[in-house]
Amino acid sequence: MAPKLHKHILARRMAEKKHVCASQNDVTTRASNVEWVIFDNIHKVVYIVIPKSASTSWRRYFAGFVPNVKGMLCGNREKFREFGINFTNQVPTAEINTRYHDYVKFVVVRHPLQRFVAGYYEVAVQRKKYHGLCHQIRESLGKSTSSTCKEDALLNFGEFLQACSLGLLPENSHWRTQQHQARPCNVDLDYIFKTETVDSDIKILNERLTIEQMHFPYTHENPNMENGSVAEKQHMNDRTKYDNLLKSTQHAFPEAFDWLLGYFAVDMEMFGYTWDSARGVSGCRYNNTGIC
């Protein structure tokens, strides 16, 4: 059974979301305009996907319902439709709002600054998406490009942040604000789950859907970790690494970092996250553990 204390935390999350939404003007967007959604028509559940908020692991969770499927929920979408799982573009617009009304709906969020760093690593470093913009960005930042913009040049995090703050890079779903990615003020959510509390959150969902307990398919499991939750330890490792990067960047580029805090201000308030500028630590306004 899910602990009562955690159910109280879930209720508090919904109350915070409702409070912040009451002050927002974004009330005209229809639920059908949410960009990326997975519908499980067997268990009657809607998962609103936010990239870099454990979305690959959650897709693998749904893939676990489909026989003889390994890996994340992608590829042959027609096969998944045979087992009652649809993506947004497989559901007629007229039916989407009906399913939102009848199904259990949840979204998974992450600390906005941590997610921004994760988005940088995936898009700018791993995918090398902005190599071709190296000269333009570094010239705009007043830097010499003759020796630094080689074919394999990578923007460092400071350059990436400054480029975003100056509007030199297009908005990307990997760091777009979670309120705009998921439209939580336009969808009557049942749950707000978080990457930081996935072990407890999955128990709540399985209990609600009367699903036998499933092992959550963490994307970055490390079998060498002993004692305690694999997910929790991995989260803490990433959190420390990302906080250190954010802290050094805040010191080096204060104006760009102020833009970052402003860009994610509503996300931070809506989902209960904080940034301690003096200590350079991401956390939660309810306590000092980073768990909201």
DSSP code of residue 252: H
Q: Specify whether the CB–CB gap between 72 and 60 falls below 8 A.
A: yes
pLDDT in the model for residue 191: 94
pLDDT digits (tens, 9 = 90+) for 39-88: 888 888 889 989 999 888 887 787 766 666 554 455 556 666 655 677 66
pLDDT per residue as tens, the chain (292 positions): 455 557 888 888 999 999 999 987 654 445 556 778 888 888 888 899 899 998 888 877 877 666 665 544 555 566 666 556 776 667 777 777 777 788 899 999 999 999 999 999 988 888 777 766 777 777 777 765 555 565 556 778 998 999 899 898 888 899 999 998 888 988 889 999 998 888 888 888 888 888 775 666 665 544 344 444 555 455 556 888 999 999 999 999 999 999 999 999 999 999 999 999 989 899 887 655 445 7
- The per-residue DSSP string of 6-24 comes to HHHHHHHHHHHHHHHHTT-
C-alpha span between 230 and 199 (Å, rounded): 10
Reported pTM: 0.83
Q: Specify whether the CB–CB gap between 131 and 151 falls below 8 A.
A: yes
